[in-house]
Structure 1
């Protein structure tokens, strides 16, 4: 992993904690949540306050996420909002934490000037010993306070102020007045500077979880389904209409089409679909060559083109099918039919850019098309790191160099080009086949032809 770390592709954007004051605040929060403390004088934290170094020290990388549910968090600075979430067990957790920080940024900035904020993503499910328990999770409520209970005390003071202003003879209630004075010494004037944090609740209808080998749950769609990365039979009976797994490629493809979750890359507006598919072909080619121990003379496009010529009949099927599609996009001719059980099928798709669960859908597609190392890295880093560990050194070097050079230099631009951002202004088509003719074919037969069921 050293190649990735040196290029800033692993453990990037973490928050460094090295001042005694911040470490003391972190320890107070950690102790209040777990009863544990760290003796480290320097460590790095993610958006939830989790530290890989502390996990190693404690021998427990789930020290802020026991049982993998109801993740706890520690906020030392609002700068954590841009940090990644390590050891994620649910796809929704980072988004919820970021929304919470951004929605309460001014209050959190004031609170973290003197103390750490500790809290929990509460989903009311305390263990997931059976896969069906995952579908009991429908809402996530964020609750948080400082280690010195500033928020709780502010709520108590606000309540006392309300009573003082509304109850008859409150002016003569010495106990009430004494409580107000005592609380105000801890909180300050909450009427002028409110410090009450919101307790927002988020729905979690569509999500991915790392539990049970990886599981995608889609409930907020026309045809709900749970899709397992591994064997669906190991899940047992699930309280949802359909249960599929990655081995059922036709079923997964039908699910995506019936719910209108994806579109062909070659049809996508405002992007060079042929260029994206050619890049996927390069990734597939490098994997095939390095897996066979074939020496690669260079990693530029010309060198890879010569490599493809040398490999000839040994080229993988995914490479050849994508090449047919690129050839059609550039030159027209016979429409290449790619069935849903073809190894290249999911490489040709992306999530619809306007879908609210675009990132979740693209994450699933990245696992269904794992040789597209760029999409796997962007959409599902843990799956990328797991796959990277088993690659030959030649492929590791190529991937690390490519991501550092072509992706990390312009992350936002790459994401927009691959997955869609704001719809760009229309530009004249330079393709030899008219867009109208392509649209007719796509509308009649679907992305690559009728899906086999």
Structure 2
């Protein structure tokens, strides 16, 4: 994994914690949540405050995620909103944390100037024993406060201020006034700088969970279904009519089509579909070559093309490669549309999630597991699966993939995502199934209105004099 870490492909964008003040705040929050503290003088944290170094010290990578169903978090800085979420149990968790931090950025900035904010993504389930427990998680509430209870004290002060202003005779209550002064010393002026984070609640509709070997839950689809990468018998008792294994390609293809969740890459608007498919073919070629023990040489386009010719002569090219090649020929030279159905190994490589679908990222994650030789999509959409696959590859393939991702993806991540999956503005960021009133139709309309104002002014278009 060293070449991934060196190129920023693993543990990238983590926040470094190395000052005694921040470490002391982290330890206060950690002790409050788990009863433990770290002796490390330097470590890195993700968006939830989880540190792989602290996890290694404790021998427990779930020290902030006990039971895998109520994620705890520690916020030392609002910069954590840009960090990834490691060891995620639910695909919605990072999106919820990111939305929470964006909503309350000013308050969190003020609070973390003096203390750490500790909290939990709470739901009604305390342990996951069977799939019914996972499906019982419908709503997730974010509960947070500093280690010195600034938020709770601010609520108390706000209540006392309201009582002071409305209750008869409160102006003469010396005890009430003294209590308000004492609380104000801790919280500051809550009438001018509110620090109440509230308890926002988010709905978890369609999502992926790492429990039971990895399960995709599409319960808000027109025809609900569970798709599992693990043992299907573990889903017994779940209130669903449709269950699919990842090997049930016909069933999954029918599900995706029936619910209008995907589109062919080659026909997608605004993208060079043929180029994308050619890159997928390159990944397949590298996989076939390294499995056959062939030397990739300088890994240049010319060398890979020579390897493709050798594999073609020995009938060593994967059938999926041939299917994508036929589709590229159709796109670039015309002719008959190649009939590639779900029984063909290249089928899922030809698809992407509809860019305007609210669960776009979840669908692309599923497709990355169905088309695992597309290492770029696997890395972008499902890093846990990518790291697991990477550990099994020949060393030469690891070098090729690490260098390709470093050169092609890391140089322009936003551009690569838009080119492959569609513009970010067409889908909710990170985890669209984690919805709350903040992501409402009214807000979308307001955003459109502001955009129009930027273009034509607040009074509408003004015609030019002729």
Contact 1:117 1:145 in 2 (8 A): yes
Q: Corresponding residue for 2:336?
A: 334
> Which deviations, in whole Å up to 9, do the C-alpha atoms of 1:149-181 show, x marking residues without a partner?
000000011011111111112123333223212
TM-score (norm 2): 0.89
Aligned residues: 424
Correspondence 1:150-169 to 2 at 5 A: 150-169=150-169
2:214 corresponds to 1:214:
yes
Q: Corresponding residue for 1:147?
A: 147
Q: Corresponding residue for 1:295?
A: 295
Query: For the structure 1 residues 422 and 132, does the alpha-carbon distance in structure 2 shift closer, same or farther, using more than 3 Å as the test?
Result: closer
Contact 1:104 1:198 in 2 (8 A): no
- Name the CA distance, whole Å, in 1 between partners of 2:198 and 2:423: 30
2:220 corresponds to 1:231:
no
3-state SS of the aligned residue for 2:28? helix
- Name the CA distance, whole Å, in 1 between partners of 2:187 and 2:2: 47
3-state SS of the aligned residue for 1:314? coil
Q: Corresponding residue for 2:189?
A: 189
Q: Corresponding residue for 1:433?
A: none
2:262 corresponds to 1:254:
no
Residue among 343, 355, 365 paired with 1:363? 365
Residue among 381, 384, 393 paired with 1:382? 384
3-state SS of the aligned residue for 1:85? coil
3-state SS of the aligned residue for 2:207? strand
Contact 1:29 1:117 in 2 (8 A): yes
Shift of 1:422: 6.4
- Name the CA distance, whole Å, in 2 between partners of 1:41 and 1:330: 58
Q: Corresponding residue for 1:45?
A: 45
- Name the CA distance, whole Å, in 2 between partners of 1:251 and 1:231: 17
- Which structure 2 segments of 5+ residues have no match? 427-466
3-state SS of the aligned residue for 2:299? coil
Contact 2:131 2:234 in 1 (8 A): no
Q: Corresponding residue for 1:415?
A: 417
Contact 2:130 2:234 in 1 (8 A): no
- For the aligned residues, what is the CA RMSD? 1.2
- Name the CA distance, whole Å, in 1 between partners of 2:176 and 2:358: 49
Q: Corresponding residue for 2:317?
A: 315
**Structure 1 segments of 4+ aligned residues over 3 angstroms from their partners:** none
Contact 2:48 2:97 in 1 (8 A): yes
Q: Corresponding residue for 1:17?
A: 17
Query: For the structure 1 residues 423 and 34, does the alpha-carbon distance in structure 2 shift closer, same or farther, using more than 3 Å as the test?
Result: closer
> Which deviations, in whole Å up to 9, do the C-alpha atoms of 1:358-403 show, x marking residues without a partner?
1111011001101000000000111100100010001001001101
3-state SS of the aligned residue for 2:70? coil
TM-score (norm 1): 0.92
Q: Corresponding residue for 1:283?
A: 283
Correspondence 1:44-123 to 2 at 5 A: 44-123=44-123
- Name the CA distance, whole Å, in 2 between partners of 1:358 and 1:8: 25
Contact 1:92 1:207 in 2 (8 A): yes
Q: Corresponding residue for 1:346?
A: 348
- Name the CA distance, whole Å, in 2 between partners of 1:423 and 1:348: 23
Shift of 1:300: 2.0
Q: Corresponding residue for 1:35?
A: 35
> Which deviations, in whole Å up to 9, do the C-alpha atoms of 1:185-232 show, x marking residues without a partner?
211111111111132111101100001100000111111111101232
Shift of 1:423: 8.8
- Name the CA distance, whole Å, in 1 between partners of 2:424 and 2:51: 35
Contact 2:212 2:231 in 1 (8 A): no
Q: Corresponding residue for 1:395?
A: 397
Shift of 1:240: 2.2
2:337 corresponds to 1:325:
no
3-state SS of the aligned residue for 2:96? helix
Q: Corresponding residue for 1:200?
A: 200
